Amino acid sequence: MQCVQALAPVTADVAPLAPLRSGDCGSPAPVLVKSIGGMDKVSFDPPLVLDCAMVVGLDRWLRESVQPAAREAFSSPVSKIIGSSYVCRNVYNLPNGHLSQHAFANAIDLPMLVLADGRKVDVTRGWGPTQRDLIAAAKAKKTAAGVTGSVGQQKTEKNIKGSVSDVVKISTAAAPSSATSADQNAASGVDPKAVAEGKFLRLVHDGGCKVFSTVMGPEANDVHRTHLHLDLQDRKTTVCE
């Protein structure tokens, strides 16, 4: 009954499932989520097995963050999300770790979002370089160049900063809003598509932090380089990485 009441205001195609139980894993009232939304309906491939609180959270996230960000970056809403949900496993699949929130139908992993116009936004490629990538690249270039005196060192540091700046533009700059800005990006070697995807993914990631208790993406670690993880674990402070 609590599940039914929670989903009453939500426009979604869901089907109730029997309670899940496998050892310490499971959920008392899971639902199969095929889609969420009315006019801007987002389908899930495959359908997700989640508890009702996660469905409510996804509905809010899609309305408040994902669709506005998609329209801003691509002028097209999201129509499909590729993802995974319930699975009885430990965090990071470690044999001696504690159970993941996936084991309670309380989490989803999202590697790809598909726009209404058919374009696909893949987290692995679309996010662009992470901060640890930029730092590693700068250190590697500095080491390779070596220190050849104060003048040579200054030039090397300038080149490093320039290369890092270019990569930052690709991963975090705003999507071009006019032909002029697009031309400027092209002239500087910045891919407008990469700019738009990087901006979009960061907006939906940050928007998720306002809804879910845990949001992890490529900046968190290499395990999450390929997807966004969202869950509603009961915790004192929000994890937003």
Can you spell out the DSSP letters for 182-230?
HHHHHHTT--HHHHHHHHHHHHHHHHHTTT-SEEE-TTT-GGGTT-EEE
Spell out the domain ranges in the chain: 2-124+196-240, 131-187
pLDDT-based confidence at 142, cuts 50/70/90?
Answer: confident
Mean pLDDT of 6-30: 96
The first and second tokens of residue 97, run together, are 């770790």
What ranges in the chain are assigned the alpha helix state H? 2-7, 52-61, 67-74, 123-126, 131-145, 150-172, 179-187, 192-208
Mean pLDDT of 164-171: 42
The first and second tokens of residue 48, run together, are 């997700």
pLDDT-based confidence at 158, cuts 50/70/90?
Answer: low
User: What is the 3-state secondary structure of 82-99?
Assistant: EEECCCCCEHHHCCCCCE
| Arithmetic mean of pLDDT over the chain | 86
Between strands 78-84 and 42-50, the pairing is parallel
Mean pLDDT of 157-184: 41
How many separate helices (H) and strands (E) can be counted in the chain?
8, 11
Give the amino acid at 133.
D
Where do we find the tokens 């801007």? 40
pLDDT at 165: 43
Q: Does the pLDDT value for residue 237 go beyond 90?
A: yes
* Percent of residues, the chain, with pLDDT higher than 70: 80
Q: Does the pLDDT value for residue 75 go beyond 80?
A: yes
Mean pLDDT of 30-39: 96
Interaxial angle between packed helices 131-145 and 150-172, expressed in degrees from 0 to 180 and rounded to the nearest 10: 160
Mean pLDDT of 158-185: 41
Residue 69 has, within 13 A of its CA and on its CB side, a CA count of 22
pTM as predicted:
0.81
The first and second tokens of residue 237, run together, are 């402070």
145 CB-contact burial (10 Å; exposed 0-12 / middle 13-18 / buried 19+): middle
Between strands 78-84 and 107-115, the pairing is antiparallel
Higher pLDDT, 85 or 142: 85
Q: Does the pLDDT value for residue 112 go beyond 70?
A: yes
Is 24:31 a contact under the CB 8 Å cutoff? no
Around Cβ 104, how many Cβ atoms within 10 Å? Answer: 23
Express each pLDDT in 172-217 by its tens digit.
443 333 333 333 343 334 555 678 999 999 999 999 999 999 999 9
The first and second tokens of residue 125, run together, are 């490629």
